[in-house]
Amino acid sequence: MTQNANNPSSAMPFSQSRFSVAPMLDWTDRHCRYFHRKLTKQTLLYTEMVTTGAIIHGKGDYLAYSEEEHPLALQLGGSDPEALAHCARLAEQRGYDEINLNVGCPSDRVQNGRFGACLMGEAQLVADGIKAMRDVVSIPVTVKTRIGIDDQDSYEFLCDFIGIVSGKGECNSFTVHARKAWLSGLSPKENREIPPLDYERVYQLKRDFPHLNIAINGGIKTLEEAKIHLQHLDGVMMGREAYQSPSILAHVDRELFDPSAEVPNSIDVVRSLYPYIERELANGTYLGHITRHILGIFQSIPGARQWRRHLSENAHKAGAGVEVVEAALQFVSQSRGE
């Protein structure tokens, strides 16, 4: 499941990616990413946030992935420069294309570990961590952050943070969630919805820091919206919409990268997963751990409800295999006359 550091894809400047799928805890695991890569070749994919503690002290292999997932960025959670550097070095050895530091997650658990959005209040510490990683790896080291935290939400505060991290930390690439985060009083879900979006503030950031690569995240639901943002910024990151309606990703390559790119057929994409599913089942993975990520592929298509129901009711059963997916697929293919 590891990747050779000499993968030719590593030659591409993935930190400059025009489009990416956001790191989402419990969602963008390796099965999800394998599926997403079947839909889009160009999109930069991210791991779930992985803490430095899990990588260094955990019993599992928290850096495992499939070679087919490239281009792939590892999102790290942590604040200790030495630990971050150690994990960055390991990630580069495993073949990751980019390291991203989480300075945006507002959950209590993350704050207690002194990482995530609370680090916006410690710009020098973030800079130290970024610099420590940059000193030991040759792949891009980037930051995902918010526009502010709590009452520290002025544009000047944001500029100071970006200025310190880009100057002293030598970070040249930021993805900015265009909402501030409340570190107390709101759940992570509420922090994705209640603080108002301020896209113009991120646009202004690019105007004031034209030498930096600035991508935007937050509330983006269509590729048409992405195109509007790309008139002002270097990149767009889409989160839950890409996960819940993954057919969007099938159009990314043509709409945002190459007008001649083919749009993959969703039924063909599902069937192309069968060898992967069989390989994973042989290694002890439960079918439901894979199929939960593909439930939304036929959103708004006749037969989609029956597709979801069949998978939800049968994928968790003992011995469930590819035949369960093929049976579910019949509800959609029959509605299309295929």
- In the annotated binding site, the residues are 23-25, 75, 144, 177, 217-219, 239-240
Smallest CA-to-CA distance from 49 within 121, 93, 99, 124 is with 99
Q: Are 106 and 183 in contact (CB under 8 A)?
A: yes
Smallest CA-to-CA distance from 19 within 192, 172, 217 is with 217
Smallest CA-to-CA distance from 66 within 94, 41, 105 is with 94
- Whether 87 sits among the annotated catalytic residues: the reply is no
Q: Choose, from 32, 87, 105, 171, the residue flagged as catalytic.
A: 105
Map tokens 């690569």 to a residue: 213
Could you tell me the two tokens for 303?
């037969």
Could you tell me the two tokens for 138?
């040759």
Vertex 165: Cα angle to 164 and 170 (nearest 5): 110
| Longest CA–CA separation in the chain, Å | 60
- Which residues contribute to the annotated binding site for FMN? 23-25, 75, 144, 177, 217-219, 239-240
Residues β-bridged to residue 141:
99
Catalytic residues: 105
